[in-house]
Each structure stands twice: as C-alpha cells, then as structure tokens.
C-alpha cells in the first residue's frame, strides 16, 4: 500500500458510514471501523473471507441481487433492506470499482421504524375506523376496504377487490355517484348522499366522502369514507309522514267546525218552524243555502284530497254580508247583542265567495261570543278606492295583549267548545286573496278586526 492508499483508508476509517470493499471473487479486501461495529464483526474475521459465506442470509435478500447488478452493469446501486440476523435496517450504496465493489452503508433502523410506526398509525386509522373506509384506482375499482366496509355492504375484502363501485350503487343514484367520483378523481373532494346495494339486495342509504389520493403531486386514486344513514332516512320519512297526518287532522277538525255552523242554523230554523207551526218561505231559502254550504265544504274536502285551484268569481259582497248577518242574527239576539251595520253596495268583486262568507262568519261569531252578557256589534263593509274594507268591532271581553300573537295559531282557543281554527282559517283566506288582516283589542273594552281586500 502506498501513502495515498493509506491516507484514503485512514479517511475511510473515520467516516461515519460503514464501508467495505469486495474484490471480484466477493472477498472482503477492506472493512472500516464503523462497518465492524455495524456488522458486529472484527476486521480480521472478515478480510479475505467471502461475503456470501459470512452472511449467507443476504443471498435471499436484495443485497445479492443488487451487488450483482452493480458489477454486471457497472452502475451504482442504492437500496434499503432489512437484515434479520442483525435486526437492522440498512441503507446501502454500492459503487463498482476497478477491483470489485465499494459498499457504503448506514443503520437506518430508527428512522425506518418511525416511518413504519406512522404507517402503522394510518393503517390503524384505516382498519379500525368505525365508518366504512376504502380506496379505489382511478377507474373506480376497489383496492382496499376495511372491516366497516365489509359490514356495510356484506362483501368480503377479496370480493370487493374484484369489483368496481358501479354494481354496488342503486340504479337511480348511479349517475350522481359517477359525477361525484369523477370530480374526486380530478382532485376535488366530494361529500354526498347516495344509495348503495347490500349483497343481499336491500338498499343502504349512505353519506359518502370521496377524497383524491395524491402521491408525489399526482392523483393515483380515490379514498372513500361511507356512513350508513338508513335509520336517519327512515326517521326523516316517518317525520314527514306524521306531519302529513297532523295536517290531515287539522283539516278534518276545521271542516267539522265549518259544517257545524250551517247545521246549527238548519236545526234552529227547523225548531223555529216546528214550534210556530208555520212555513216561512224566506227560511227555506236560507236553509237551502246552508245545505249547499255543507255541500261545498264536503266538496272542498275532496278538493284537498286532490289539490285544485279555488275558483275566483265575481261576487256580491253586500249580499254575502247580509246573508251572514241573517244567519248569526239569532245568536246575537240570544246574547243580547245589538247589531249595527253599515254595508256599502260594492260592484261585483272578484273573490272566492264561500271563503269570504266563512271569514265573515268566523269573525262575527267570535265577536258575538265575546259578549255573552250583551253589547254592541258593529259590522262595516266599505268600498274604498281599490279595496273592500271589512271592519268588525265588538264591546266584548277583549284579548290580553300578551295573547294577541297567539290568535290565529292553530288550536289556540280560550273557549270550552272552541276549535281554535276559525282565526287561522280566516287569516289564510285573507292571505290567498292578497289582503291584510289586523286585530287590536283591549281587555273589557272590546276587539276591533279590520280586513282589507284588494279589488283587482
Ligand atoms: P275559537 O273561536 O274556536 O276559540 P278562533 O280561532 O275563532 O277559535 O279564536 C281563537 C281565540 O281568539 C278565541 O278563543 C278567543 O280567545 C280569541 N278571540 C278571537 N276573536 C275574539 C274577539 N272578538 N274577542 C275576544 N276574543 C277573541
Ligand atoms: Mg271562533
């Protein structure tokens, strides 16, 4: 060895990497200090010996193949490999040299274990995630699934790996699912609801997130996370159904209420005629009208069952009002209520006649009922510019201020036999006519109701 070679060896001895040199017969020609430590062997035991005799386990590992490759192709090679006999991960760089091979290596066990541990972390997140977690290639073929996914749709991991998501999506949801998947495959994370098919055929409602898998700045696939929301969906449907039922209940109560009014007057007139023994032609007209009102209410029930537009017609509001006053006159009389009316003749007014009649009945009846011991009822129907103004004032019990907002809410009633639907219906009718409804009241002074309906 010349001086230069000695100097070089000296340097190699002091570098922090392990280093050894091999000749073409795979014999060690040099081993540095660090290498003896890393391999747990002394220099004398290695130099002159064949590397594959000394470390036969390495033949089955990347070492053998990579060193051969470096020598045959005369190219440097780098690789990581675990070496079980030493329980060590090595990072190896081997360079062909004029005499054979120069090999530098490092112990990277700690680093590697840290990486493996964090991989383990992710793997554990994947495997033990309570939701279904899965990954796809860019065509939507399953690459991996966790236990949650096996449970969600009933297939095993092996079965999934032979499938794409397409046969597992309910047909009516496939288009939207494809659209979301494609967006995710183009880099946009997606959140959506869809319907999947369980292996045994039933539909599973799922809430899905699709997340692009990005490796080295390239999208290589799509992650999926799915949650079973079937129970939630069923609960929602039940809620909607029960809401519908309560609307039906409300409707029947209000219809019963509306039928009761004309029935009461029919009964009243019949009793009157029976007791007096006379037939009054005017009563027959009113009775006929009341019967047709009942008819139209039951007709309305059918309309609700099969929704249709209400018919707006040109009606005579004065006539309607007078009709209502005749209807409720007897009740007013019984309550000792003095009725003052001021009704303009109004040109034919476009409205739903039966509904306007219902409004007047509801409001006037409430006024009369608020004065069980008598009082004054003022009913005004005025023609003002392009409006019909209906005003009903009573000197009754009034409504406490804190309850004013409650009036008109379904079932708000202070009466023993009230339905609490009259004012709600009234407000709705005024609304469908594009009108305004106002109520003001003072306890023990009276209530003032004003309804303005636009003339169109
Ligand atoms: P009901 O008459 O069946 O109680 P309504 O919807 O017609 O239902 O009225 C709701 C409630 O509003 C009544 O119970 C009553 O407390 C109050 N109310 C409505 N109009 C008047 C009025 N003119 N005077 C006093 N209270 C009224
Ligand atoms: Mg009422």
pLDDT in tens, 165-203: 999 999 999 999 999 999 999 999 999 999 999 999 999
* Mutation test residue for ligand 1: of 366, 390, 400, 444, the one with most atoms within 8 Å of CB: 366
Report the topology of domain 129-228: Beta-Lactamase (3.30.450)
pLDDT in tens, 363-403: 999 999 999 999 999 999 999 989 999 999 999 999 999 99
- Cα dist from 24 to 15, 29, 253, whole Å: 24, 10, 103
Cut 0.75: pTM above it: no
> Of all residues in the chain, what percent carry a pLDDT higher than 90?
62
Residue 452: CB within 6 Å of ligand 1? no
- Cα dist from 125 to 115, 130, 144, whole Å: 15, 9, 13
pLDDT in tens, 241-300: 665 566 666 666 666 777 888 888 888 888 888 888 887 788 888 888 888 777 766 655
Specify the residue with its C-alpha closest to ligand 1, atom 16.
414
For residue 360 the two structure tokens come to 């007047």
Please provide the CATH number assigned to the domain covering 233-305: 1.10.287.130
**Which ligand 1 atom sits closest to the C-alpha of 423?**
6
Mean pLDDT in residue range 95-118? 91
User: DSSP state, 342?
Assistant: E
Residue 440: CB within 6 Å of ligand 1? no
What's the confidence (pLDDT) of residue 324? 87
What's the confidence (pLDDT) of residue 307? 39
pLDDT in tens, 406-447: 898 877 889 876 777 788 888 888 988 999 999 999 999 999
Residue 358: CB within 6 Å of ligand 1? no
Q: Is the Cα dihedral 38, 40, 42, 46 positive or negative?
A: negative
Residue 335: CB within 6 Å of ligand 1? no
Q: Are 129-228 and 233-305 the same fold in CATH?
A: no
Query: Going by C-beta distance under 8 Å and a sequence separation of 6 or more, which residues neighbour residue 207?
Result: 191, 192, 193, 226, 227, 229
What's the confidence (pLDDT) of residue 285? 85
Residue 397: CB within 6 Å of ligand 1? yes
| Cα(253) to centroid(ligand 2), Å | 13
Please provide the CATH number assigned to the domain covering 3-112: 3.30.450.20
- Which ligand approaches the C-alpha of residue 423 most closely? 1
Specify the residue with its C-alpha closest to ligand 1, atom 20.
366
Distance of alpha carbon 53 from alpha carbon 51, whole angstroms: 5
Q: For the chain, what are the domain ranges? A: 3-112, 129-228, 233-305, 313-454
Query: Per mean pLDDT, which range of 52-56, 65-69, 125-129 is the poorest?
Result: 125-129
Query: Going by C-beta distance under 8 Å and a sequence separation of 6 or more, which residues neighbour residue 424?
Result: 254, 408, 409, 410
| Cα(305) to centroid(ligand 1), Å | 28
Query: Where are the strands (E) in 216-304, listed by range?
Result: 218-228
- Decide if domain 313-454 falls under CATH 3.30.565.10: yes
Specify the residue with its C-alpha closest to ligand 1, atom 17.
407
Alpha helices of 129-173 — where are they, by DSSP H?
147-153, 157-160
For residue 32 the two structure tokens come to 């540095």
- Which ligand approaches the C-alpha of residue 367 most closely? 1
What's the confidence (pLDDT) of residue 105? 95
Distance of alpha carbon 29 from alpha carbon 425, whole angstroms: 105
């Amino acid at each position: 060895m010349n001086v230069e070679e000695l100097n070089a060896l000296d340097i190699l001895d002091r570098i922090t990497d392990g280093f050894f040199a091999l000749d073409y017969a795979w014999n060690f020609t040099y081993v540095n200090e660090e290498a003896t430590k890393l391999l747990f062997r002394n220099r004398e035991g290695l130099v002159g010996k064949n590397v594959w005799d000394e470390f036969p386990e390495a033949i089955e590992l990347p070492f053998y193949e990579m060193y051969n490759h470096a020598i045959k192709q005369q190219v440097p090679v780098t690789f990581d490999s675990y070496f079980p006999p030493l329980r060590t991960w090595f990072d190896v760089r081997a360079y062909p040299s004029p005499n054979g091979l120069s090999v530098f290596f490092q112990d990277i066990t700690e680093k590697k274990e840290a990486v493996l541990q964090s991989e383990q972390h992710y793997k554990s997140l994947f495997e033990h995630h309570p939701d279904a977690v899965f990954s796809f290639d860019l065509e939507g073929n399953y690459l991996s699934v966790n236990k949650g996914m096996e449970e969600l749709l009933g297939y095993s991991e092996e079965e999934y790996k032979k499938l794409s998501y397409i046969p597992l999506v309910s047909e009516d949801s496939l288009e939207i699912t494809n659209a979301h998947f494609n967006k995710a495959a183009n880099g946009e994370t997606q959140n959506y609801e869809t319907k999947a098919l369980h292996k045994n055929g039933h539909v599973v409602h799922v809430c899905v997130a699709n997340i692009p898998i990005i490796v080295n700045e390239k999208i290589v696939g799509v992650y999926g996370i799915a949650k079973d929301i079937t129970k939630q969906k069923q609960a929602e449907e039940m809620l909607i159904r029960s809401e519908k039922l309560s609307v039906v209940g409300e409707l029947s109560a209000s219809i019963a209420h509306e039928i009761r009014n004309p029935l009461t007057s029919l009964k009243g007139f019949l009793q009157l005629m029976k007791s007096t023994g006379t037939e009054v032609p005017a009563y027959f007209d009113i009775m006929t009208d009341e019967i047709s009102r009942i008819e139209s209410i039951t007709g309305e029930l059918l309309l609700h069952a099969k929704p249709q537009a209400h018919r707006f017609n040109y009606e005579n509001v004065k006539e309607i009002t007078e009709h209502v006053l005749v209807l409720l006159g007897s009740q007013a009389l019984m309550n000792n209520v003095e009725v003052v009316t001021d009704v303009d003749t109004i040109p034919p007014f476009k409205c739903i006649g039966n509904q306007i009649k219902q409004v007047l009945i509801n409001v006037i009846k409430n006024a009369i009922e608020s004065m069980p011991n008598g009082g004054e009822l003022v009913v005004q129907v005025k023609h003002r510019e392009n409006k019909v103004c209906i005003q009903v004032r009573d000197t009754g019990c009034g409504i406490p201020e804190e309850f004013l907002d409650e009036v008109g809410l379904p079932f708000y009633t202070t009466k023993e036999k009230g339905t609490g639907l009259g004012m709600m219906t009234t407000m709705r009718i005024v609304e469908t006519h594009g009108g305004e409804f106002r109520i003001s009241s003072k306890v023990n002074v009276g209530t003032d109701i004003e309804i303005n309906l636009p003339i169109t």
